[in-house]
A and B are shown apart, each in its own frame.
Chain A
Amino acid sequence: MQQIINFIIRNKTFLLFLLLFSISIFFTIQSHSYHKSKFINSANFLTGGVYNSVNNISEYFSLKSQNQILAEENNRLKSLLYNSSIKTDTSFVDSTKFNGLYRFTPANIIKNSYSLNNNILTLNKGKNDSIKEDFGVISSKGIIGIIDKTSANYATVISILNTTSQISAQLKNTNHYGSLKWNGNSPEFVQLVDIQKVAPVKVGDTIITSGISSIFPKGILVGTIQDFKLDDAENYYTLNVELFNDMTNLEHVHIIENVDKPEITNLLNE
């Protein structure tokens, strides 16, 4: 016993080093596995508060380009509205259909990141705005990611530019679907893998979300096909998809909640 205590006292620095090093390795491994509970994230009040107060100032610098993006979206929505063939009668509101299948919440990105292998963003909405894990995040131009952790006022988002992220997507023309991944090389391109060989793939075709995972509704824009090749077994295509979103310049986003998601997961688990 005496010897053990002596040993600990003699090597206390090395043992402390070993302890702290293994704690950090533990955190690192946790951060590399999808959706594991972790304690070190930027959704807490300290980091969230710092990012929020800095973002309050820095958002003024991108005001002009963000206004431009919002005006473009308004323009697109207006043209959809006035050209739609369905005539809505404003005197009659069907209250049974008033709550849609998807609930949208606007949010601001207060920390953007795109240069790492596992990029995680921070939003200024949290549990107080009924934001929960596994909600989808989109911008006016397309898909951004999935909510990971939430605190009272902040939430972190697993960006599509994250090597652990996996989102179901499909071709716009046909219903052949695959999963959207990122190889970590360029923030402008993501990869769509496991598309069946029989699918009619053409360069320039549009990729949309498939709605299979019940996180995103079907039809959210992702990008266009840049190039494609067969995988090693020659059964599936791997597509290189150029994103519509400029992931390096993000500000206003929308969080999507699928109201029926608990029902769907319940059904699948039975």
Chain B
Amino acid sequence: MNSVISIHTIRFILLAITQALIFNHINFLGYINPYPYLLFILFYPVKNNRMLFIFLSFLLGLTVDMFLDSGGIHAAASVLVAYARPIFLKSTFGTIYEYQTIKFNNVEFGSKLTYIAFLTTIHHIVLFTLETFSTSKIILTLQKALFSSIFTILLCILLTIIFSRNKT
């Protein structure tokens, strides 16, 4: 139990720092940045205290906001994704989730991909809508959200493959 807490604390700090110092200065094609700090929310243990989980997501989003001077957009998007996570867990993993025996290391790749893709897209749409904060630039907002989502999804998949513990 103790090791789980320490792993997630380290993951929290590491993702916030790398987001602020590396991933936010990529600026691919001028404006496309990935937001892989989402991995913390995506792969938080399924058996959890939901209130603590939502609060931690809020804290992570707020930390990123503080580094980027962006008000509360990351906090809002993170809290929303954390709250909506059980719905997507249920729809993508189905029965494995219902029995509460899910382990992110050994689920099918396809369902993992859809799970990451759904939550990332929602997160980014909320994020960029709040960032632009105007209805007149809706096309630009959606365009930014789409490109950044693709980047984030690719990066999340790569990071999970690199850092997954192989149990064969």
Instruction: Give the distance to chain A from B114, nearest Cβ to Cβ, in Å.
Output: 24
How far apart are the CA atoms of A16 and B51 in the complex, in Å? 7
Q: Which residues of A are found within 8 Å of B69, using beta-carbon distances?
A: 31, 40-42, 113, 120, 122, 156
A156 / chain B contacts, CB cutoff of 8 Å:
69
Which residue of B is nearest A187, CB measured? B30
Determine the chain B residues whose CB is within 8 A of the CB of A115 once the complex forms: 27, 30-33
- Cβ of A92 within 8 Å of any chain B Cβ, yes or no, is no
- Assess A31 versus B71: contact at CB under 8 Å? Given A24-B79, A50-B20: yes
Residues in B with CB closer than 8 Å to A186 are 30
CB atoms of A41 and B66 under 8 A apart: yes
Q: Is the interface of B mostly helix, strand, loop or mixed?
A: helix
Q: Is the CB of B66 within 8 A of A44?
A: yes
Which residues of B1-34 have CB atoms within 8 Å of chain A's CB atoms?
17, 20-21, 24, 27, 30-33
A-B contact count (CB 8 A): 107
Q: Which A residues between 109 and 135 are near B, CB-CB below 8 angstroms?
A: 111, 113-118, 120, 122
Binds A, one of B55-63, B92-100, B101-109: B55-63
Interface residues on A, range: 35 or more
Interface size on B, residues (CB 8 A): 37
Complex Cα–Cα for A46 and B50 (A): 28
Contact of B132 among A41, A44, A50, A117 (CB under 8 A): A117
19 contacts between A and B (CB under 8 A): A12-B51, A13-B83, A17-B79, A17-B82, A17-B83, A23-B75, A31-B69, A31-B71, A40-B65, A40-B69, A46-B66, A47-B20, A50-B17, A50-B21, A113-B24, A117-B133, A118-B131, A184-B132, A187-B30
Query: Which residues of B are at the interface with A, using a C-beta cutoff of 8 A?
Result: 17, 20-21, 24, 27, 30-33, 50-51, 54-55, 58, 61-62, 65-73, 75-76, 79-80, 82-83, 130-133, 137, 140
- A residues sitting closer than 8 Å to B (CB atoms) are 12-14, 16-17, 20-21, 23-32, 38, 40-42, 44, 46-47, 50-51, 54, 111, 113-118, 120, 122, 156, 184, 186-187, 248
